[in-house]
Amino acid sequence: MLVNMKEMLIKASKEGKAIPQFNINNLEWTKYILEACEEKKNPVILGVSEGAIKHIGGYITTVKMIEGLVEDLKITIPVVIHLDHGSSYESCVKAIDAGFTSVMVDLTKQPIETNIEVTKKAVEYAHKRNVSVEGEIGHIGLTTGEAIYTEVDDAVKYVEATGIDALAPAVGSLHGIYLTEPKISFERIRDIKNKTGVPLVLHGGSGIPEDTLHRAIYEGIAKLNINTALQVAWAKAVRIFLNENTDIYDPRKVIGAGEKAIKDLVNYYIDFLNRGRD
């Protein structure tokens, strides 16, 4: 069942749990993630970056591919098709018109006024069509750079002015492979959560130690984004398979060599996230 993410995040937030966003890259990844989540009967947010959308073929292909898999595989869990880091109003509109059930607006490289203006416009377009919106304030960069921390007042101003359904603040996490252990500010998560009241999203979830993630969820994180960890696990399994099977050339076998690695990790995250704030 395709849904937006508003209700599931509110519910997760109340229960002190987090819903996973697993980013997809192609048909096989989507299939593996859907199958693993269905097996666990766990709702899932399929994150699709603009780069992944281009790779898959476009906004429409992405939606039709997911819709087809949901139908053919008889997926019964709630599934969100979410634009990850939408870089413009136009990109969000394209995604919504194609059938995405959720979008993220990321204008964090622009001045805060522009970020607010574009996010607000995207929210107006999205909400009329029952599509949820995640916004980012303060910039969550790459692990090759420095982590920054969103000012609480900026977060409040942004949420109040835009009407977003979920907020991705910069709280010390970064995208990619961490070179040093991330310094997540639990205090900042708690303050932003208390003052904005919206479910919070933690980007750059791959490689954050379990106890840190656990505490971050306790303080208000209701959605955890995972991309790099799946890519690394898949690539490692495929590399081993190719080295051990130098005569194999069937792409289904090559890509499929990473299926177990992806499913194992998806299962791990679902089990971990369902532990909640115990």
As measured in angstroms, the least distance from the Cβ of 263 to ligand 13P is 17
Torsion of CA 168, 223, 84, 266, to 10 degrees: 150
By CB under 6 A, name the one of 56, 214, 227, 233 that touches ligand 13P.
Answer: 227
Q: Is 106 in the site for ligand 13P (CB under 6 A)?
A: no
Q: Is 23 in the site for ligand 13P (CB under 6 A)?
A: yes
Q: Which stretch binds ligand 13P (CB under 6 A): 1-9, 12-20, 123-131, 202-210?
A: 202-210
The 75-94 contact track toward ligand 13P, x by CB under 6 A, reads: ---------xx---------
Q: Which stretch binds ligand 13P (CB under 6 A): 86-94, 119-127, 154-162, 219-227?
A: 219-227
The residues that bridge with 103 in the sheet, in sequence order, are 83, 133
| Number of residues lying near ligand 13P (CB under 6 A) | 15
Pick the catalytic residue from 72, 84, 247, 278. Answer: 84
By CB under 6 A, name the one of 78, 86, 205, 220 that touches ligand 13P.
Answer: 205
Q: Is 20 in the site for ligand 13P (CB under 6 A)?
A: no
The 37-76 contact track toward ligand 13P, x by CB under 6 A, reads: ----------x-----------------------------
- Which residues are CB-neighbours of 56 under 8 A, at least 6 positions away? 24, 25, 26, 27, 48, 62, 65
By CB under 6 A, name the one of 225, 234, 259, 269 that touches ligand 13P.
Answer: 225
Between residues 84 and 219, which has the closer beta carbon with respect to ligand 13P?
84
Between residues 94 and 223, which has the closer beta carbon with respect to ligand 13P?
223
Between residues 164 and 226, which has the closer beta carbon with respect to ligand 13P?
226
CA dihedral sign, ordered 63, 65, 69, 71: positive
CB neighbourhood size of 120 (10 A): 19
Is 72 a catalytic site residue?
no
As measured in angstroms, the least distance from the Cβ of 104 to ligand 13P is 8
Give the integer Cα–Cα distance in Å for 149 and 189: 10
By CB under 6 A, name the one of 6, 94, 190, 203 that touches ligand 13P.
Answer: 203
Between residues 18 and 229, which has the closer beta carbon with respect to ligand 13P?
229
Catalytically active residues are 84
Site residues (vs ligand 13P, CB under 6 A): 23, 47, 84-85, 175-176, 203-206, 225-229
